[in-house]
Amino acid sequence: MSERKVILIIEDQSDIRKLIRMTLELGDSEIHEAENGESGWHMVKALRPDLVLLDVMMPGSLDGYQVCQKIRQEPGLCNIPVILLTARGQQADFEMGRQAGADAYLTKPFSPLELIDTVDSQLARTVGAHA
Amino acid sequence: MAANLQVLVDSLDEGMLIVSPEGVVRLANQAARRFFTVVVGKRLAVEELMVQVAAAVRGYIRLPFAFEIAGPEAGGERDRLHLKLMESPLGGGYLVIIRNISEQARYEHIISNFANLMTVELGLPMATFANRLGRLLVDLVPDLAQREALGDDARSILQQGESIASRVTQLAAFAQLFARSPILASERIPVMELVAALAQRARPLLEARKLKLHFSPGMQELPVIYGSRAWLVEALYGYIEYMVKNCRLRSDLELQIRPYGNFISLQIRNHGRALPKHSASAAFKPFTQGLGAPGEAGELAGLGLGLALCKQVVELHRGSMKFNDEDGDITAFVLELPAGAPAESVNPELGAEQARRYAEDLTRLMQRKRQAKPQ
């Protein structure tokens, strides 16, 4: 039997967090939420999730790119897959996400099918890497 | 239709319609009524839109579907309208979002023309005029002692000429900046990049006055700011310019940056050499500062926004400005800017489209889930 995956959603818009939670709870995942970059970063350290869904533009002292960079710089956390969520979707934003160390990018509005497929493929990649 | 829903949709700048598959209007906001003649409960008489609704009903087009049509005739002209057709998240039918792209293009064109007019017809000739005025005086009265002995009238005319040239050049530079960059933008600006751009902007002024800008970033990690890079640099430069030109004793400037909570504090001080506080009240009137150091060839010199406009730019970035004073003298300007993106940056069109995509695909996802379940 496969272990329940822990997924952390870091997103300031509560509606989007609810939609993501609702979608991911269709699978057998344990979902946690943070509403800004700082609390998200603390939760990443405390939970050590299997995957992080991370909004790019958030109010507060850490935006999505900065949280992603912190995850990549922290030994023990640096291999956690990070999927960035953005409403901008311009080439420069993808490039900035790549430089910050993100594994995948979802542009809002995204479909739940796209979300599930991206999450599944990132989780499968880490399972493959650890096998 | 609930009255509060109507109030909500009327608050949108873009036109919004909900129509049935037969094209009967179920909901229209005020902005949509400016574009079309709309009667709720009647079929919408905009054939180009009705054709696309019919195509959507038959599955000929994939939603959301964006297209352009000509708007109603006004003053002999017809604006171009950008329409986005999508499934309605409210009670079936179709949601249509309408934006007047001619209006937007016209506005940008007017601003651009205005900036070019100010620069080419006024700013650059006036800068040249100010230079020539100085040279003319030397040519006419080569002897320094004689020049100093000129009468009050001659001196006053020269000062007025310089002053008018300065104001016009400032206005032209302001127009250029306005055309180049919107004040309300959502550029991602790492604070260190802002400081670097500010240092570059202030270098000619500081070098001309043989001053330095010392920067102490502190030990803490600095956040990013979201806004207009060009306008924030110009606003911060305004404070530096004011410090340089008004301090009692010329001395190097210091820029201190400290993050605290969800804000970042930027303090510009003059190494303890205070500014007379009474001069600040005049500076809070727009365009009260003089010209900065001359720019590159063909460029207009300092913008001289004046502290009033600097303050407004900071406030439009959801920040604030105050000054510290001791014994009636200003010792530092302290600006506070919120870190990160604005909390209210929710796009209603994006929200509606996100809801529609979820409504459409969640059903498919549930079907896929059911099919995947072992029997």
Residue B146 to residue A10: CA distance in whole angstroms: 74
Mean per-residue pLDDT of chain B: 80
Which residues of chain A have a CB within 8 Å of the CB of B342?
59
E-strand ranges in B221-277 read: 224-227, 253-260, 263-269, 275-276
Tell whether B366 is within 8 A of chain A (Cβ).
yes
Q: What is the pLDDT of residues A24-37, one digit of tens each?
A: 988 889 999 999 99
- Cβ B248 vs Cβ B275: under 8 Å: yes
The answer to which of A92-101, B254-263, B292-301, B360-369 has the lowest mean pLDDT is B292-301
The answer to whether the beta carbons of residues B119 and B174 sit under 8 Å apart is no
| Cβ within 8 Å of residue B229, ≥6 positions away | B181, B185, B187, B189, B193, B194, B197
Q: Return the minimum-mean-pLDDT range out of A75-89, B182-196, B259-273.
A: B259-273
Residue B339 near chain A (CB below 8 Å): yes
SS3 call for B260: strand
Choose the closest CB to B340 out of A59, A112, A114: A59
Query: Running along chain A, 131 residues long, what does each successive block of 10 average in pLDDT?
Result: 85 88 88 95 96 93 94 94 84 84 89 90 77 51
Token pair recorded at residue B198 = 């500010």
Per-residue burial over A72-109, b = 16 or more CB atoms within 10 Å of its CB, e = otherwise: eeeeebeebbbbbbbbeeeeebbebbeebbbbbbbebb
Confidence of residue B292 (pLDDT cuts 50, 70, 90): very low
pLDDT greater than 70 at residue B188? yes
Vertex B58 angle, CA B57 and B63, to 5°: 60
CB contacts, 8 Å: A37 with chain B: 340
- Closest Cβ–Cβ partner in A26, A58, A60 for B365: A26
Angle value at C-alpha B213, between B189 and B196, nearest 5 degrees: 25
How much is the average pLDDT of B117-139? Answer: 81
Mean pLDDT, to the nearest integer, of B193-200? Answer: 92
Model pLDDT, residue B357: 75
Q: Given this model, what pLDDT does residue A30 score?
A: 94
Confidence band, pLDDT 50/70/90 cuts, at residue B25: very high
Helix (H, G, I), strand (E, B) or coil at B217: coil
Q: Is the pLDDT of residue B364 over 60?
A: yes
Residue B249 above 60 pLDDT?
yes
Q: What is the mean pLDDT of residues B314-343?
A: 83
Using CA coordinates, name the residue in chain B closest to A109. B354
Greater confidence (B13 vs B29) lies with: B29
pLDDT at B282: 59
d(CA B72, CA B77): 8
B71-85, B113-127, B199-213, B361-375 — which one is most confidently predicted on average?
A: B199-213
Per-residue pLDDT band for B275 (boundaries 50, 70, 90) equals low
How sure is the predictor about B299, in pLDDT bands with cuts at 50, 70 and 90? Answer: very low
Tell me the pLDDT of chain A averaged across its residues: 89
ipTM of the complex: 0.79
Question: A94 CB contacts (<8 Å, ≥6 apart)?
Answer: A105
* Total residue length of chain B: 375
Asked if pLDDT for residue B240 goes beyond 70, the answer is: yes
Distance (Å) of CA B74 to CA A70, B23, B98, B257: 56, 25, 17, 53
* pLDDT tens-digit readout, B107-126: 777 777 777 787 788 878 88
Contact by Cβ (8 Å): A93, A102: no
State the CB neighbour count (10 A cutoff) for residue B250.
12
Classify the phi-psi angles of B259: left when phi > 0, otherwise alpha if psi is within -120 to 50, otherwise beta. beta
- How would DSSP label each residue in A27-39? TTEEEEEESSHHH
Interfacial residues of A (vs B; Cβ cutoff 8 Å): 12-13, 15-16, 19, 22-23, 26, 36-37, 57-63, 65-66, 87, 96, 108-114, 116
The better pLDDT of the pair A35, B9 is held by A35
Domains of chain B, each with CATH number or no CATH? 3-102 (3.30.450.20), 182-344 (3.30.565.10)
Query: A115 vs chain B: nearest CA distance in angstroms?
Result: 11
Asked if B39 reaches chain A (Cβ–Cβ under 8 Å), the answer is: no
User: What are the phi and psi torsion angles at B137 (to 5°)?
Assistant: -60, -45
Kindly tell me if the per-residue pLDDT of B44 is higher than 80: yes
Statement: residue B293 has pLDDT above 70: no
- Residue B139 has a CB neighbour count (10 Å cut-off) of 9
B39-42: Cβ within 8 A, 24+ apart: B40/B1
| Overall average pLDDT of the B234-243 stretch | 86
Grouping H, G, I as helix, E, B as strand and the rest as coil, residue B183 is coil
- Max mean pLDDT among A75-84, B133-142, B295-304, B356-365 falls in A75-84
Cβ within 8 Å, pair B340-A57: yes
- Which domains, ranges and CATH numbers included, belong to chain A? 5-126 (3.40.50.2300)
Distance between CA atoms of B241 and B259, rounded to whole angstroms? 24
Q: Contact B354/A109, CB-based, under 8 Å? A: yes
User: With 90 as the cut, is the pLDDT of residue B306 above it?
Assistant: no
Pairwise CB contact (< 8 Å): A57 & B259: no
